[in-house]
Amino acid sequence: MLHDYHVHLESGPYTAQWIRQYYDTAMERGLSELGFSEHAYRFSQASSLLETSWADAAFHYDVHEYVHAVEQARQQGMAVKTGIEMDYIPSREAGIRAFLESVHWDYIIGSVHWIGDWGFDLPRFAHEWKERDVVDVYYSYYEILQMAIRSQLFDIIGHFDLIKVFGYRPPRNVIMTAVYESTIRLMKDYDMVLEINTAGLYKPAGQIYPAPEILQMAGKYRLPVIITSDAHCPEHVGRDFPLAQRMAREADITTLVRFEKRKRQYVPLLA
Ligand SMILES: [Zn+2]
Ligand SMILES: [Zn+2]
C-alpha cells in the first residue's frame, strides 16, 4: 500500500508516454499509486513568485500542459495523482494562493528552498554557504518554514530539514532540538503532513529528511506522514522505501496518508 507523491517529471516532456516510464518503475517496486509534484517555478503562471528573476529567465512551461498529461495517463488506466511542489516565499502569499487555486490539485507540497534571494539547496548558490553563519541560516530557515506552516496554503511540508542538504550543520554546542520540536508541534496544530523523503541520502548531507531525532518527535505528536523519493528520473521512484519504512516504525509511526482532491485517507504502514 505504499505510494510515492514527490516525483519530478522535469527531465522529459509533459506526455503520458514519459509518465508511463515512471509508472512502470512504481509498479515494479510494488507501489499502489504515483503522484507528481512538479516545481511550480517551472510554469509561466508561477515563475514570477520567487524573489529573484532566476526562474522567470529559465522556465516558461504551461501548467495546464502538465496537468493534462497526468490526466491523460489516468485515462490510460495509471493510478496517478496531480500534485505540485510550491516554493514558500513569505512576501508572495497572495500570488501563491491565486496560483494554487487555479488548478484542482490532489495535494500540495509546500517547500522552503529560498532564504531571501538565496537558493540555498541549489549547487549554483552553494558557494554562499561559506560566507554565512550556519546557525543564523538554520534559524532563518525554520522561521520561514514556520511561516509556511501558518500560511495554511499547503497539505504537506517538503523535506523538513532540507537546510542540512550540503552538510553544513550547527556546531555541537548549539542544540537545535527546541526549534525542531516547536516546528513539529506547529505542524500538529495546523494538521499538516510530514514527508519522509529519501533523496537526502544522495546529497552531501547523506541522511533521509528528516533526521531520526525529528522523526521521533513526529511520532510522539502523531503527525500524519508520507514516504517519498523526490525522484527526478524514472529509476529513482520509490528509492530506499524499505529503509524509510523501518525509520518510520522505529519512530512509532503506523499510518500513512493518501490524497485525492486534497481529501485525506489514512492507510496502515505495513512491513
Ligand atoms: Zn524540494
Ligand atoms: Zn522536489
88: left (phi over 0), alpha (psi -120 to 50) or beta: beta
pLDDT given at position 271:
57
Domains of the chain in sequence order: 3-268 (3.20.20.140)
Closest ligand by atom to 113 CA: 1
Closest ligand by atom to 160 CA: 1
Q: pLDDT (tens digit, 9 = 90+) per residue, 206-248?
A: 999 999 999 999 999 999 999 999 999 999 999 999 999 999 9
pLDDT given at position 195:
98
Grid cell 509533459 in the structure block, residue: 14
pLDDT given at position 150:
98
Please tell me the distance between residue 1's alpha carbon and the centre of ligand 1 in angstroms: 24
pLDDT given at position 53:
85
**First and final C-alpha spacing in the chain:** 10
Please tell me the distance between residue 192's alpha carbon and the centre of ligand 1 in angstroms: 17
Q: Are 183 and 192 in contact (CB under 8 A)?
A: no
C-alpha span between 251 and 234 (Å, rounded): 29
Please tell me the distance between residue 265's alpha carbon and the centre of ligand 2 in angstroms: 22
C-alpha span between 40 and 153 (Å, rounded): 14
C-alpha span between 241 and 6 (Å, rounded): 13
Neighbours of 19 (CB within 10 A): 25
H/E stretch holding 26 reads helix 16-28
The strand pairing partners of 218, in sequence order, are: none
C-alpha span between 235 and 24 (Å, rounded): 10
Q: Are 255 and 269 in contact (CB under 8 A)?
A: yes
Neighbours of 151 (CB within 10 A): 15
Closest ligand by atom to 10 CA: 2
Please tell me the distance between residue 38's alpha carbon and the centre of ligand 1 in angstroms: 10
Q: Name the grid cell of 202.
A: 544522495
C-alpha span between 194 and 209 (Å, rounded): 10
Checking DSSP bridges between strand 156-157 and strand 107-111, what pairing results, if any?
parallel
Closest ligand by atom to 110 CA: 1
The parts of the chain modelled with pLDDT lower than 50 are none
Please tell me the distance between residue 85's alpha carbon and the centre of ligand 2 in angstroms: 6
Please tell me the distance between residue 173's alpha carbon and the centre of ligand 2 in angstroms: 31
Closest ligand by atom to 228 CA: 2
The strand pairing partners of 226, in sequence order, are: 195
pLDDT given at position 23:
98
The strand pairing partners of 82, in sequence order, are: 36
Q: Are 46 and 105 in contact (CB under 8 A)?
A: no
Please tell me the distance between residue 85's alpha carbon and the centre of ligand 1 in angstroms: 7
